[in-house]
């Protein structure tokens, strides 16, 4: 291998097996990168003055697109190390601003700025001194980013800037102001709007409010992504009725109905099935998506390859508790009710406190227990698991983060991967003071590993979903395919060796088999190792 160039020079990937992202069969080819652009050449074709990399027995593919990320907050500071583990997976572009959270799209000089800055991702950034997409984009372009960013605007932060975390409905004036701010973000280049309907304040949104947001997205012909109200058959966001419709199916129905009413392009975020009882609703859930697609609804869902995932501990709380935080946590009678409801929910779902792993307690009293399950913490501090959960919520101001287990049952990941509407994501972020989520280090290699070991999906189809389909979904032009003139976001991998190496005790292990990664034509990783700290990724604006 010769000297690796910057994106102004020529680099030839030789003798590789090209999977171009379109879903067509793999073929032998050479790929030239020049001036940050791609050119597909015949096998054996030479290029004068080009540095070369031998890709014999390796796959050349478009860089992977993570369709559900929260790394926009971590891009605010000039800290490229936060992105290193994602680039090591072969990820070159991340769709950020999910679940109602984004670091822009809110009211200037809002009295609720502290709620926006002290979010789930507060450790990723300092003070936010802008409010618009353009302001955020200028901040990122000022120092660069590891991968490219495609940003959604969060409905949740926009609503927070107007009404805080209040459960009260927005006034007509506030509703108008919210839609104006969201419209501005979409006009400036946001790829769509994200909803976080299990988080404050999204959980308090009315159907009319959500319909107006969806209609705005439709007007711009962009994407509405949704963290739904429930992902388990029994949840706190709907009335407790163990004998009614499964809550996760109810949440799916509500979002599909919204898409039918407004004709919006819908992305159902992280389709999971929390708890053993919920696993049994898989076929019913998929049937709902299939029916909607057959009816002409433009809907897809994304997923990750692990039976666990990271979120806020307060997502376990019912809406009536969320609406009265934080004072309600110290009131005996409401806590007795909550204890009983939690017992009923866990017993019904096949869950328990032994499924709740504290990734970052966000409070001094419990930070030494980061990484332990609530049952383990309870045995060490001499309290019941319920008391530990409430105490952590109280002392952390409900900011504690967890890794929730039993997201998927056996073979659910493999089955979901084969669905034509499935897309792939990490939904993870670094934990500077807590326990890392394995998805930060191994999600995309694990998808590849599962495909190789099970044969449930062809490599060409899998890479198509990770690249060209993702680019098309979010309106990302000239990326996602290896095609003449496209931007040179490229990954070279060893198909036989690619593997996720994370375990519970080694959750930050780098993957195997991801050989080279190029972002905008610049080598970010060569021979499985970090090549440069240069931040060559861009904050992309999605035009109409």
SS3 state at 32: strand
Instruction: Tell me the pTM.
Output: 0.93
Whether 10-62+484-498+511-534 shares its CATH topology with 64-307+412-437 is answered no
Strand order in the sheet with 148-151: 64-66, 91-96, 148-151, 539-540
Q: Tokens at residue 216, please?
A: 């705005």
pLDDT of residue 176: 98
The domain covering 10-62+484-498+511-534 belongs, at the CATH homologous superfamily level, to Urease, subunit C, domain 1 (2.30.40.10)
pLDDT of residue 120: 61
Mean pLDDT by 10 residues, the chain (544 residues): 54 97 97 97 91 97 98 89 96 97 90 77 70 94 94 97 93 97 98 96 96 98 98 89 88 98 98 95 98 98 94 88 88 95 90 94 93 96 97 92 91 95 95 85 98 96 98 97 98 98 90 97 93 86 79
Question: Residue 143 is inside which H or E element, if any?
Answer: helix 133-143
Residue 414 C-alpha from the chain's centroid = 19
The DSSP secondary structure of 206-266, one letter per residue, reads -HHHHHHHHHHHHHHT-EEEEE-S-SSSS-SSS---TTSS-HHHHHHHHHHHHHHHH--EE
By C-alpha distance, which of 520, 430, 529 is closest to 33? 520
Cα–Cα distance for residue pair 336/313, rounded to 1 Å: 19
Phi-psi category of 503—alpha, beta or left, where left has phi over 0 and alpha has psi -120 to 50?
A: beta
pLDDT of residue 119: 66
Cα–Cα distance for residue pair 280/233, rounded to 1 Å: 9
pLDDT of residue 2: 36
Arch. (CATH architecture) of 64-307+412-437: Alpha-Beta Barrel (3.20)
Residue 223 C-alpha from the chain's centroid = 15
pLDDT of residue 435: 83
**Torsion angle defined by CA atoms of residues 254, 255, 256 and 260, in that order, rounded to the nearest 10 degrees:** 100
Q: Are 92 and 493 in contact (CB under 8 A)?
A: no
Domain ranges of the chain: 10-62+484-498+511-534, 64-307+412-437, 315-405
β-partners of residue 10 are 34
Cα–Cα distance for residue pair 21/472, rounded to 1 Å: 11
pLDDT of residue 4: 47
């Amino acid at each position: 291998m010769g000297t690796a160039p910057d994106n102004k020079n020529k680099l030839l990937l030789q003798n590789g097996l090209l999977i171009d992202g379109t879903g067509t069969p793999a073929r032998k080819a050479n790929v030239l990168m020049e001036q940050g652009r791609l050119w597909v050449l015949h096998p054996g074709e030479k290029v004068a003055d080009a540095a070369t990399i031998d890709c014999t027995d390796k796959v050349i593919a478009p860089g992977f697109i993570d369709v559900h990320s929260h790394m926009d907050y971590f891009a605010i500071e000039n800290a490229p190390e936060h992105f290193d583990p994602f680039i090591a997976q072969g990820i070159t572009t991340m769709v950020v601003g999910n679940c109602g959270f984004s670091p822009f799209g809110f009211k200037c000089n809002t009295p609720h700025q502290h709620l926006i800055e002290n979010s789930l991702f507060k450790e990723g950034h300092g003070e936010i001194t802008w409010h618009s997409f353009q302001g955020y984009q200028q901040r990122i372009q000022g120092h660069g980013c590891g991968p490219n960013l495609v940003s959604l605007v969060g409905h949740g932060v926009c609503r927070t800037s107007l009404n805080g975390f209040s459960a009260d409905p927005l006034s007509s004036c506030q509703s108008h102001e919210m839609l104006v701010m969201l419209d501005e973000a979409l006009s400036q280049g946001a790829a769509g709007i994200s909803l976080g309907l299990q988080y404050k304040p999204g959980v308090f949104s009315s159907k009319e409010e959500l319909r107006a947001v969806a209609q705005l997205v439709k007007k711009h012909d962009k994407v509405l992504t949704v963290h739904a109200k429930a992902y388990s058959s029994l949840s706190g966001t709907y009335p407790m009725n163990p004998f009614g419709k499964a809550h996760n199916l109810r949440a799916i129905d509500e979002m599909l109905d919204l898409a039918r009413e407004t004709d919006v392009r819908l992305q159902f975020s992280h389709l999971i099935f929390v708890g053993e009882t919920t696993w049994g609703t898989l076929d019913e859930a998929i049937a709902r998506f299939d029916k909607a697609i057959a009816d002409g609804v433009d809907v897809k869902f994304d997923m990750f390859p692990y039976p666990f995932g990271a979120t806020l501990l307060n997502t376990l709380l019912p809406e009536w508790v969320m609406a009265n935080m934080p004072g309600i946590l110290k009131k005996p009678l409401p806590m007795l009710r909550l204890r009983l409801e939690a017992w009923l929910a866990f017993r019904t779902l096949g869950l328990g406190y032994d499924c709740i792993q504290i990734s970052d307690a966000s409070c001094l009293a419990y930070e030494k227990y980061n990484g332990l399950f609530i049952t383990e913490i309870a045995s060490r501090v001499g309290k019941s698991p319920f008391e530990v959960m409430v105490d952590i919520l109280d002392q952390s101001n409900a900011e504690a983060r967890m890794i929730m287990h039993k997201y998927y049952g056996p073979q659910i990941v493999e089955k979901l991967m084969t669905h034509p509407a499935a897309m792939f994501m990490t939904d993870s972020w670094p934990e500077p003071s807590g326990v890392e989520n394995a998805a930060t280090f191994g999600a995309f290699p694990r998808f590849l590993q599962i495909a190789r070991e099970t044969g449930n999906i062809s490599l060409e189809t899998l890479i198509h979903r990770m690249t060209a389909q993702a680019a098309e979904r979010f309106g990302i032009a000239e990326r996602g395919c290896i095609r003449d003139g496209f931007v040179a976001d490229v990954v070279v991998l060893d198909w036989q060796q690619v593997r996720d190496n994370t375990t519970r005790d080694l959750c930050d292990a780098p993957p195997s088999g991801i050989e080279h990664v190029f972002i905008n034509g610049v080598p970010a990783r060569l021979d499985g190792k970090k090549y440069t700290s240069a931040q060559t990724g861009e904050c992309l604006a999605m035009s109409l």
